[in-house]
Amino acid sequence: MTMMEFFGCSFIAFGPALALFIFTIAPDPLRIIVLMASAFFWLLSLLLSSILWAVVVPLKEELAFGLVFSVLFQEGFRLFFYFLLRKANEGLEKVSLHEGSSGTSLVKNKHLLAYVSGLGFGIVSGAFSSVNVLADSTGPGTVGIHGHSDLFFITSAFLTLCFIFLHTFWGVIFFAGLDRRNFIPPVIVVATHMLVSGLTLLNQGTNPVYLGSILPAYCIMVAMGIWAYFTAGGSLSNLKSFVLNKQAQYAF
């Protein structure tokens, strides 16, 4: 039973991200490089957060303290990675010449570059936030046997999925705002990141409020997804054409 829960939660948390990687990242070596680089920068933000948490001993037990600075470090490294990509644009163009049309499209399409870097942030963020939880789900023991909620693992899986998508959407919105010299989108990204991360504090203690964190988080995720879609050049007519084409494709 515990292994079923482990695989179920793993597929919920990382199934969509794995599909995105296989179909949109894996065919292009340059995209893989950018994704790994963005994941490395997220790890650097985690390192700084850990150092700060270790140094400030009086506030070690305050999760809110570590959460706030963790979000600030993550967004700070997202900003640093943006400037690094823009500085390395010429080098990426030279590399893309050897990769063919797919590599060239990554360099020329700024939204695609933002998507790849955001997905890198999301995947490594989800991995580090849920790896211990998934390991515990394999047993021994039964969740909720001492009167606690038995929804802990499934809630963690859905929140991990939410954060992976949010980081992807945030990457597109954040980069586009900086490209257009409009600093409102990056500020909103930081604010919503802080808000969604703060909602996870509702899940601590003996009486966690799982719906109080999941429902607002997914509402924000949908809103950010719609914003990112239109930011990347999407439109209602494009979406309508896509749906109609799919219906015609599977019509008998």
- Residues 87-142 pLDDT 10s: 877 666 666 655 554 554 566 678 888 999 999 999 999 999 888 887 777 766 56
- Encoded amino acid at 5, one letter: E
Give the separation between CA 32 and CA 208, rounded to whole angstroms.
Answer: 38
Is pLDDT at 252 greater than 50 in this prediction? no
| Residue 109 three-state SS | coil
Tokens of 21: 């990687």
Tokens of 142: 């039964």
Percent of residues, the chain, with pLDDT higher than 90: 46
Give the separation between CA 125 and CA 103, rounded to whole angstroms.
Answer: 26
- Encoded amino acid at 211, one letter: L
Q: Which helix (H) or strand (E) holds 245?
A: helix 236-249
Q: Which helix (H) or strand (E) holds 27?
A: none
Peptide bond into 140 cis (omega under 30): yes
- Could you tell me if 155 and 74 are in contact, meaning their C-beta atoms sit under 8 angstroms apart? no
For 6-31, the pLDDT digits (tens) are 888 889 999 999 999 999 999 888 88
Is pLDDT at 240 greater than 90 in this prediction? no
Q: What is the mean pLDDT of residues 188-198?
A: 95
Domain boundaries, the chain: 2-249
